[in-house]
Chains A and B, each alone.
Chain A
Amino acid sequence: MIIAAPGAASGEFVERDHTQHPPALTAGYRTSVLRSPRNALIAPRNTLSETTGPVFDPRELGEKDNDLILNFARDGLPIGERLIVHGYVRDEFGNPVKGALVEAWQANAGGRYRHKKDRYLAPIDPNFGGCGRMITDDNGYYFFRTIKPGPYPWANSTNAWRPAHIHFSIHGTGWAQRLITQMYFEGDPLIERCPIAKTVPTLDQLRSLIAQEDPANNAPFDARTYRFDLTLRGRRATFFDNVTLPGAPR
Chain B
Amino acid sequence: MSLSPHSMVTRHPETPSQTGGPYVHIGLAPQQAGFDIFDNNFGNVLTTPETKGEHITLEGRVFDGTGTPVRDVLIEIWQANAAGRYAHPGDTQGRELDPTFRGWGRTGGDFDTGVYTFETIKPGPVPASNGGTQAPHILMVLFARGINLGLHTRVYFDDEADANAADPVLNGIEWETRRDTLVAKRSERDGRTVYTFDVYLQDTPAGGLETVFFDI
Query: Which A positions have Cβ atoms within 8 angstroms of B?
Result: 9-10, 12-13, 15-18, 20-24, 26, 29, 31-39, 41-55, 60-62, 65, 71-72, 90, 92-94, 103-106, 113-118, 129-131, 133, 167, 169, 173-176, 178-182, 196-197, 199-201, 204-206, 208-209, 230-234
Contacts and interface: CB of A to CB of B under 8 A. Distances in A.
Majority SS at the chain B contact face: loop
A50 B139 contact: yes
A52 B91 contact: yes
Interface in B122-149: 126-129, 134, 137, 139, 141, 143-149
Contacts, number: 262
A180 B17 contact: yes
Given A52-B88, A52-B91, A105-B27, A21 B149 contact: yes
Given A46-B129, A52-B86, A209-B15, A130 B215 contact: no
Interface stretch (B49-57, B64-72, B156-164, B189-197): B64-72
Contact of A180 (B18, B168, B169, B172): B18
B111 A117 contact: yes
Contacts of A92: 11-14
Contacts of B12: 90, 92-94, 231
Nearest to B141: A178
Interface band, chain B: 35 or more
A35 B127 contact: no
Contacts of A42: 172-173, 212-215
B176 to A, nearest CB: 13
A90 B150 CA distance: 20
Contacts of B72: 117
Contacts of A230: 15
A179 B17 contact: yes
B16 A20 contact: yes
A226 B139 CA distance: 35
B24 A167 contact: yes
A208 B15 contact: yes
B109 interface: no
B172 A44 contact: yes
A231 B151 contact: no
Contacts of A72: 35, 37
A197 B19 CA distance: 10
A36 B17 contact: no
Contact of A131 (B17, B26, B202): B26
Contact of A16 (B14, B40, B89): B14
Nearest to A55: B88
B46 to A, nearest CB: 10
Contact of B13 (A17, A169, A178): A17
Given A38-B202, A92-B12, A49 B104 contact: no
18 contacts: A13-B216, A21-B149, A22-B18, A24-B151, A29-B19, A31-B145, A39-B178, A41-B213, A49-B80, A49-B86, A52-B90, A92-B13, A129-B35, A167-B24, A176-B216, A196-B19, A199-B18, A209-B16
Given A22-B16, A62-B38, A62-B39, A9 B89 contact: yes
B208 interface: no
A116 B33 contact: yes
A49 B78 contact: yes
Interface in B1-55: 10-28, 30, 33-35, 37-40
A4 B200 CA distance: 42
A231 B23 contact: no
Contact of B148 (A26, A38, A45, A103): A26
Contact of A115 (B34, B38, B141): B34
Contact of B26 (A31, A41, A65, A105): A105
Contacts of A41: 213-215
A171 B95 CA distance: 25
Given A37-B202, A209-B18, A94 B10 contact: yes
A180 B152 CA distance: 13
Contacts of A114: 26, 33-35
B87 interface: yes
A181 B11 CA distance: 20
Contact of A48 (B26, B86, B104, B211): B86
Contacts of B34: 114-116
